[in-house]
């Protein structure tokens, strides 16, 4: 049976200069449903939750973390599903989709609003960079959310960089990326117009360009 993410309430104060708008009281709310098939530790999941909430909060988007099939809160504008795959599930998806051994996660664009992350690979990439697994997981989830909600393209740096490289500074969204995510969340799930070139996105460790 899949492990369902259970989270505590989080209060986040965000200030990262001029990169993105501060969280406002009328911010649209994105529900994030996380299903943990990998049975990650609660500390890893909660740290990831904090990091995603902070990054999206800086973009002007509030976050509601959802457990299993629980009803959506009344204020939710949009919803995404993130599946943290077990080793066996990850191996099957990688084999079926012919993904490179370097791929950390993949996401489908709207209207699917679903991402698949490979926890073992993320943990190993975090260890190589001497960072925590929770921080790395949160970084990857935020990256994939931007792809699947707003079709945000890769950038040279920040959370949308094509390669995975954590630094001591907060790697957030640019103002333009934040505005695009916020606008997309304000629409319904099928309301984001995407370029026809969009396809399943993959996220790779540092030094390996995204396809």
Does 110 score more than 50 pLDDT? yes
Does residue 14 sit within a domain?
no
Does residue 162 sit within a domain?
yes
Mean pLDDT lowest among 128-137, 166-175, 185-194: 185-194
**What pLDDT, on the 0 to 100 scale, is given for residue 9?**
27
Give the confidence band of 175 by pLDDT, cuts at 50, 70, 90. very high
Does 197 score more than 70 pLDDT? no
Does residue 17 sit within a domain?
no
Could you tell me which residues are beta bridge partners of residue 114?
Answer: 81, 108
Does residue 92 sit within a domain?
yes
Give the confidence band of 89 by pLDDT, cuts at 50, 70, 90. very high
Give the confidence band of 133 by pLDDT, cuts at 50, 70, 90. very high
Does residue 131 sit within a domain?
yes
Residues 80-87, mean pLDDT to the nearest whole number? 96
Query: For 17-76, how does the pLDDT look when each residue is reduced to its tens digit (9 = 90+)?
Result: 334 444 444 789 999 999 999 999 999 999 999 999 999 999 999 999 987 677 777 778
Residues 182-211, mean pLDDT to the nearest whole number? 49
Contact present, 4 and 43 (Cβ < 8 Å): no
**What pLDDT, on the 0 to 100 scale, is given for residue 23?**
43
Could you tell me which residues are beta bridge partners of residue 105?
Answer: 117, 203
Domain that holds residue 108: 3-8+23-205
Tell me which long-range contacts 73-77 makes (C-beta under 8 A, separation of at least 24).
73/29, 73/31, 75/29, 76/29, 76/30, 76/31, 77/28, 77/29, 77/30, 77/185, 77/186
Mean pLDDT lowest among 35-49, 80-94, 113-127, 182-196: 182-196
- Residue 138's nearest CA partner among 21, 43, 1 is 43
Residues 6+ positions from 166 with CB-CB distance below 8 Å: 126, 129, 131, 135, 136, 139
Does residue 81 sit within a domain?
yes
| Count of alpha carbons within 13 angstroms of residue 155, beta-carbon side | 17
**Is 165 buried (19+), middle (13-18) or exposed (0-12) by CB count in 10 A?**
middle
Contact present, 210 and 163 (Cβ < 8 Å): yes
Question: What CATH number is given to the structural domain containing 156?
Answer: 3.40.390.10
Number of domains in the chain: 1
Whole-angstrom Cα Rg for the chain: 16
**What pLDDT, on the 0 to 100 scale, is given for residue 112?**
82
**What pLDDT, on the 0 to 100 scale, is given for residue 14?**
30
Does residue 169 sit within a domain?
yes
**Is 203 buried (19+), middle (13-18) or exposed (0-12) by CB count in 10 A?**
buried
**b/e code 42-64 from CB counts within 10 Å (16+ = b):** eebbbbbbbbbbbbbbbbbbbbb
Residues 112-129, mean pLDDT to the nearest whole number? 95
Could you tell me which residues are beta bridge partners of residue 116?
Answer: 83, 106
Give the confidence band of 202 by pLDDT, cuts at 50, 70, 90. low
Does residue 210 sit within a domain?
no
**What pLDDT, on the 0 to 100 scale, is given for residue 198?**
31
Residues 141-164, mean pLDDT to the nearest whole number? 93
Residues 159-177, mean pLDDT to the nearest whole number? 90
Residues 161-190, mean pLDDT to the nearest whole number? 86
Does 100 score more than 80 pLDDT? yes
């Amino acid at each position: 049976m899949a492990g369902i993410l259970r989270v505590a309430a989080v209060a986040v104060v965000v200030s990262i200069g001029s990169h993105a708008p501060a969280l406002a009281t009328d911010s649209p709310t994105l529900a994030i449903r996380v299903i943990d098939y990998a049975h990650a530790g609660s500390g890893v999941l909660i740290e990831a939750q904090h990091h995603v909430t902070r990054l999206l909060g800086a973009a002007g988007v509030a976050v509601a973390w959802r457990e299993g099939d629980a009803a959506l809160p009344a204020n939710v504008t949009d919803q995404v599903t993130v599946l943290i795959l077990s080793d066996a599930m990850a191996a099957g998806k990688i084999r079926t989709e012919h993904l490179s051994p370097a791929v950390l996660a993949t996401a489908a664009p709207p209207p699917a609003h679903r991402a698949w992350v490979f926890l073992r690979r993320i943990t190993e990439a975090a260890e190589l960079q001497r960072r925590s697994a929770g921080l790395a997981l949160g970084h990857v989830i935020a990256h994939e959310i931007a792809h699947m909600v707003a079709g945000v393209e890769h950038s040279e740096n920040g959370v949308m960089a094509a390669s995975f490289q954590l630094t001591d500074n907060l790697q957030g969204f640019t103002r333009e990326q934040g505005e695009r995510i916020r606008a997309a969340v304000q629409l319904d799930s099928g309301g984001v117009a995407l370029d026809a070139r969009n396809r399943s996105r993959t996220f790779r460790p540092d030094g390996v360009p995204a396809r």
